[in-house]
Structure 1
Amino acid sequence: MSFKSSLLATAAVAVGITAVPAFAEGELNLYSSRHYDTDERLYSDFTEATGITVNRIEGNADELIARMEAEGANSPVDVFLTVDTVRITRAKELGLLQSVESDVLEQRIPDYLQDEDNQWFAFSQRARILFYDKTDVENPPRTYQDLANPEYEGMVCIRSSSNVYTQNITAALVAHLGEEAVGDWANAVVGNFARDPQGGDTDQLRGIASGECDIAMSNTYYYARVLRKGDKSMSEDDIANIGWVFPNQDDIGAHMNISGGGVAANAPNRENAVRFLEYLASDQAQEYFSAGNDEYPAVPGVGLSPSVAALGIFRPDAIKLSDIADNIAAAQNILNEAGWK
């Protein structure tokens, strides 16, 4: 776990660390599993605009949730940020978040990108799409279901079943297609693996570049980052040879992962916490999610960075995130039964 900025004074305990900060009027205590250095600009701009100092602790989402549980009513955290639907929903289910009444958030964040009880809101998105080797794949898959087609036997690189992105896309498919159909799909996809699932999203793209696989699934911001900054493991020709497909454009649309946050149940600086969430929904912050980290804004109409815009226009899946969360357990069972490692 990394400790950055004006960190909370902490003391180690058996489970996690108990923080003892000064609850000053001009402070905000943030627990975040976003690990991007580019977010520094978000925090500094918020402080410059409001005078509110951001004290933050970054770490693994599960560790931060466990820490909030251990701290209980004495927790110093005001805002919890995470990078997937599973963890932010878990925080809500554990009673670690509270409802927020904010006209700004209600008006700017689409309904399907916020919790039905207003306990959390999405602030950025990443499309989970398909990539392929343009030299070797003449007929790339056009839907997530196509990954199960026999013609792609031995061609697919994908992340493990323990990864939240894999769980999320499977849960979304369960919501759309039903458990039986997705169970058949998962079994067939496992049969098309080029290798056992391994590594992160960038490693799937590198698998295409190295020739280990011909088709992969990844969040868009990993590839957009490669377009913007390059990658030491891939040449310019390797990158240019990777094609992409936004799946299911004729029906459900491309699956979206989110980064979101909510106000902690026992937030000592609640007003500052709400102001911070409202700031994250501002045009300035939304543009920076795209420019700084190659993500899609959650607020409609906000401009995209060149690296993100280069991927093109597409139809996203507008499924309510709560429907995905409701099907995570079923998705995990399906992946386990399919032998998806």
Structure 2
Amino acid sequence: MASRALRAVVAVSTLLAAFTPASAQEAVVNVYTFRQPDLIKPALDAFTTETGIRTEVLFVDKGLEDRIAAEGENSPADVIVTVDIARLSAAKAKGVTQALEDETVNSNIPASYRDPENHWFGLTKRARVFYAYNARVPEKVMSYAALSDPRWKGRLCSRSGQHEHNLALFSAAILHWGEQRTEEWLRGIKANLSAAPSGMERDQVKAIAEGRCDLAIGNADQVGFMQTNARSPEQQEWAKAIHIVFPLFENGATHVNIAGAALARYAPHRDNAVKLIQFLSSPRGQQIMAEQNFEYPVEPRLKASTVVQSFGPLTADALLMDEIENTRQLASEIVGRIGYDNGPER
């Protein structure tokens, strides 16, 4: 047993040695990412071409902040790249990020899309929209409030109400409407569901294409991935069955979340890490990341890709990301209280 434990320690030490450069001055930056490496590679390659600093990437799809916390002061992580305000906030709460007071980054990123204490920075916006069935939903403009209208009874699909993407939207609703109205709204949505919430974003599109529901909540970027997914032509067919509706709050704006980056607490190549965050936050960096992921630059004057523009115009809600995250626990409590994930009562 002891020898097995020793081998495990040696294996981990070897891995860290391979990932960690011999010198802190070496022209490298280590990126821990929740995003698929292929989705950030074009931006990282552009950074290397511009600066001569190479990147080493470690993909961690579960427990990214826990991994870095376990590595402690010996962590090779320089920059953390992840999606959703909840995950960015979790990294900060876990103590694996550090504040970055940088005039360049702050001038690139609007204040509403960065941490007030500068522990994380949004790089792209992710619009929370409706997937609407072409054959039965002609509407091009709708409100978020409309989801609780009885006309949609038995016609809605949803993933879990406790998923980060939905909780962020529900948090935004609380900030706009208050707790009581938001709970009534969610009860109405639950009553309108065609079945208990399940699956992920693309599963909602599949359900619509198969005629199991007519309307669903999802992120706009997933439609871009489906439309261009040559490896899975069935997803292209699902995407043809729907159109995107940008739902609105009373202020005429659509809820957005973010994908972003943070400076790791013990970054061994801090100067290089700062240069990478400066690049990713720059207009060029934002546009590369946005185009690769079918998202929107956080800088409103920058244009989205041709594919994303084809979805229609986006007017992004101006709620602060940290306010949305601070309301997340209340949103989760409401979802649990009404039994949202149990689906409609029959």
Please report the TM-score for the alignment, with normalisation by the length of structure 1.
Answer: 0.89
Counterpart residue type for residue 34 of structure 1: R
- Give me the whole-angstrom Cα distance separating, in 2, the residues matched to 1:197 and 1:35: 25
Q: Percent identity?
A: 30
Deviations 1:224-267 (A, max 9, x none): 2333446522565x644423221116415111121011101111
Do structure 1's residue 59 and structure 2's residue 56 form an aligned pair? Answer: no
Structure 2 unpaired stretches of 5+: 1-8, 342-346
| AA aligned opposite 1:31 | Y
* C-alpha distance in 2 between matches for 1:99 and 1:147: 40
Count of residues in Structure 1 that have an aligned counterpart in Structure 2: 328
CA contact (8 A) 2:82 2:259 kept: yes
Q: Which residue of 1 is the match for residue 71 of structure 2?
A: 71
> What displacement does 1:222 show?
0.9
Measure, in 1, the Cα distance between the counterparts of 2:306 and 2:217: 22
| SS across alignment from 1:330 | helix
Aligned to 1:333: 333
Indicate if the aligned counterparts of 1:99 and 1:118 stay in contact, CA closer than 8 A. yes
How many Å apart are 1:63 and its aligned residue? 1.3
- Residue of structure 2 equivalent to 1:50: 51
Q: Hey, what's the Cα distance between the residues in 1 that align with 2:185 and 2:275? A: 44
**Ranges of 4+ aligned residues in structure 1 off by more than 6 Å:** none
Match for residue 158 of structure 2?
158
Partner of 2:344: none
Which residues of 2 match residues 109-128 of structure 1 at below 5 A?
109-128=109-128
- Aligned with 1:117: secondary structure? coil
Alignment CA distance shift 1:39-1:235 (3 Å): closer
Query: What letter matches 2:110 in structure 1?
Result: P
C-alpha contact (below 8 Å) 2:127/2:256 kept by paired residues:
yes
More helix as a share of residues: 2
Is it true that 1:277 corresponds to 2:274 in the alignment? no
Using the TM superposition, name which of 101-110 and 295-304 deviates more.
295-304
Structure 2 CA distance for partners of 1:73 and 1:38, relative to 1, 3 Å: closer
Contact 1:133/1:242 (8 A) holds in 2: yes
Could you tell me whether the CA contact under 8 Å between 2:37 and 2:57 is conserved in 1?
A: no
| Structure 2 residue matching 1:128: 3-state secondary structure | strand
Are the counterparts in 2 of residues 31 and 79 from structure 1 also a CA contact under 8 Å?
yes
| Offset, 1:177 | 1.4
Contact 2:254 2:317 survives alignment (8 Å) = yes
More displaced 10-residue stretch of structure 1: 181-190 or 18-27: 18-27
C-alpha distance in 2 between matches for 1:232 and 1:280: 32
Q: Distance in 2 between matches of 1:321 and 1:234?
A: 31
8 Å Cα contact 2:257/2:321 also seen in 1: no
Aligned-partner Cα distance in 2 for 1:10–1:184 = 56
What is residue 143 of structure 1 aligned with on the other side?
143
CA contact (8 A) 2:168 2:328 kept: yes
Q: CA deviation at 1:280?
A: 0.4
- The corresponding residue for 2:101 is 101
Q: Following the alignment from structure 1 to structure 2, what is the Cα–Cα distance between the partners of residues 225 and 154? A: 28
Instruction: Provide, for residues 84-132 of structure 1, a one-character-per-residue CA deviation record: whole Å limited to 9, x for no partner.
Output: 1001111112222111121211111111001101111000111010121
One-letter code aligned to 1:276: L
* Corresponding residue number in structure 2 for 1:29: 30
- 2:207 — aligned with what? 207
Task: Note the alpha carbon deviations across 1:134-172, whole angstroms, 9 max, x for none.
Answer: 322355771222111111011111111232111111111
2:3 maps to which residue?
none
For the aligned residues, what is the CA RMSD?
2.2
Q: Is the contact made by 1:249 and 1:315 (CA closer than 8 Å) also made in structure 2? A: no
- Asked whether the 8 Å contact 1:68–1:75 carries over to 2, the reply is yes
Q: Match of 1:134? A: 134
Partner residue, 1:4: none
Q: Which residue of 1 aligns with 2:299?
A: 299
Q: Which residue is equivalent to 1:6?
A: none
1:19 to 16, 21, 34: 16
When residues 235 and 291 of structure 1 are mapped into structure 2, their CA distance, relative to the original with a 3 A threshold, is closer
Specify whether residues 140 and 190 from structure 1 end up closer, same or farther in structure 2 by C-alpha distance, changes over 3 A only: farther
Deviation at 1:80, TM superposition (A): 1.0
Q: CA deviation at 1:36?
A: 4.9
User: Residue 313 of structure 1: CA displacement?
Assistant: 1.4
Distance 1:99 1:264 in 2: 9
Checking the alignment, whether the CA contact within 8 Å between 1:18 and 1:71 is kept in structure 2 is: no
Partner AA of 1:195 in structure 2 = A
The Cα of 1:303 is off from its aligned counterpart by 2.6
Which residue of 1 is the match for residue 4 of structure 2?
none
Does the aligned pair in 1 maintain the 2:24–2:268 contact within 8 Å? no
CA deviation after TM superposition for structure 1 residue 291, in Å: 2.5
The amino acid that maps onto 1:156 is: L
Bigger drift between 295-304 and 188-197 goes to: 295-304
Q: Which residue of 2 aligns with 1:41?
A: 42
Aligned to 1:267: 267
SS of the residue corresponding to residue 131 of structure 1 reads: strand
Q: 2-side partners of 1:52 and 1:190: how far apart? A: 50
1:33, 1:81 within 8 Å by CA — same for their partners in 2?
yes
